[in-house]
Homo-oligomer: A and B are copies of this chain.
Amino acid sequence: MTSVSVVGASGYSGAELLKLLIRHSGVRIDRLFANTSAGKKLADVFPTFNKTLDVTLELYSVKSISKSDLVFIALPSGEAMNIVPGMLAAGKRVIDLGGDFRLQDTSLYEKYYKRTHSAAQILKRAVYGLPEWNYSQIKSAALIANPGCYPTSAILPLAPLLKEGIIESTGIAISSLSGVSGAGKSTSLEMSFAEVNESVRAYKVGVHQHFPEICTILTALSGTTPSLSFVPHLLPITRGIYSTIYANLRKDVTAETVCAIYDKYYGKAPFVRFSSTTIPEIKNVSYTNYIDIGFRVNQEDKQIVVLSAIDNLVKGAAGQAIQNMNIMFGFDEKEGLK
């Protein structure tokens, strides 16, 4: 059994992680950590765990993870960088669900996350945990930067098209729609039910911290630097991300060509489903680790529209983290994610 601990177990991603870990046949939950909820029972924070997981949340210290093989971090961005160096020094393997280790360039981090990076010295050891592209580095990684939810929904559909050169690298537009759980637990008026319900709004247009993640990872994976617009929107749903991506075609391509490209990159990927005929819907991926990809080629105007759907808490966070753990520790990639 692999022994795992979770730092940040009282947030939505942490809770989702625990639900998946409970079902995993090869894992033993070691210890759970939280800040303001330390000292409480997990079931007092999330009554859904009552009778299922009887654990008390603790304040984190590096000593307390001495028996863990793996530590998941599900803290707000900016907090992981303070504790990961100590974890690595203690020889632990780490999967961070936050944004602290996704941007190798600290100046980008500082521009978009509005804070100084305090652990730049370990950035080189971080592997971007997108299993469909970085499988072998993940296998041996000490530190996984688990991808952001928006980037997962945008990079998986775009990277093959850019790498194969069938779309222009300029003029790409990504319109992404997210459920509110992506923002984590919130006490702000603007996330209250009465403000979110029966409405929609774009937010952080041009300044969202996932924008540089999408750009730099696409560049790394495809060898091409894209120029793109990214607009996230908040929807009155709890879970799910839907991305609608517009790009200009460089070549005359058919739907079959596009399918063949996706098949080349994802034909064996257990959690990528693509189709030239089915339009993705969030409900088809809810509570699963799948990403659904659809598209429509408009040869007349030399444009393509690509659509994707994920569950932001699963493939966009906790599920992808489990998938990374499975690869790191030699489990079946689908274990715990059926």
Chain A residues close to B by CB (< 8 Å): 12, 22-23, 46-48, 50-52, 170-171, 173, 175, 177, 179-181, 185-189, 191-203, 205-206, 227-229, 231, 233, 235-240, 242, 244, 246, 248, 270, 273, 278-288, 290, 292, 294, 296, 298, 301, 303, 305, 307, 309, 338
Q: Chain B residues with Cβ under 8 A from A191's Cβ?
A: 192-194
Determine whether the beta carbon of B229 is less than 8 Å from that of A283.
no
Q: Contacting A290 at CB < 8 Å: which of B51, B278, B283?
A: B51
- Could you tell me if B198 and A286 are in contact, using CB atoms closer than 8 angstroms? yes
Determine whether the beta carbon of B237 is less than 8 Å from that of A198: yes
**Cβ-defined contact, B244 with A197, below 8 A:** no
Complex Cα–Cα for A229 and B173 (A): 11
The answer to whether A244 and B231 have CB atoms under 8 Å apart is yes
- Kindly provide the distance from the CB of A316 to the nearest chain B CB, expressed in whole angstroms: 14
Bound complex: CA of A309 vs CA of B50, how far in Å?
A: 14
Q: Given A194-B238, A301-B229, A199 and B51 touching (CB < 8 A)? A: no
Question: In the complex, given contacts A193-B196, A198-B240, what are 11 additional A-B residue pairs having Cβ atoms less than 8 angstroms apart?
Answer: A12-B194, A46-B284, A171-B171, A171-B303, A173-B173, A175-B175, A185-B192, A186-B192, A193-B197, A202-B307, A206-B296
Q: Assuming the A-B contacts A248-B171, A338-B52, are A197 and B270 also in contact, with contact meaning beta carbons closer than 8 angstroms in the complex?
A: no
CB–CB B22/A305 < 8 A: no
Query: Taking each of A52, A236, A307, which has the highest tally of chain B beta carbons within 10 Å of its own beta carbon?
Result: A236
Taking a contact as CB atoms under 8 Å apart, the answer to whether A187 and B187 are in contact is yes
**Minimal Cβ-Cβ distance residue in B for A47:** B284
- Least CB distance from A219 to B in Å reads 15
- In the complex, the answer to whether A283 meets B338 with C-beta atoms within 8 Å is no
CB <8 Å contact, A194 and B185: yes
Establish whether residues B237 and A199, one from each chain, have CB atoms under 8 Å apart when the complex forms.
Answer: yes
Q: Is the CB of A240 within 8 A of B279?
A: no
B193 engages A192 (CB within 8 Å): yes
What's the least CB distance linking A179 to chain B, in Å? 8
Contact A273 B189 (CB under 8 A): no
Chain B nearest CB from A246 CB (Å) reads 4
A186 touches B177 (CB 8 A): no
Measured CA separation A85–B246 after assembly (Å): 42
Shortest C-beta distance, A263 to chain B (Å), equals 13
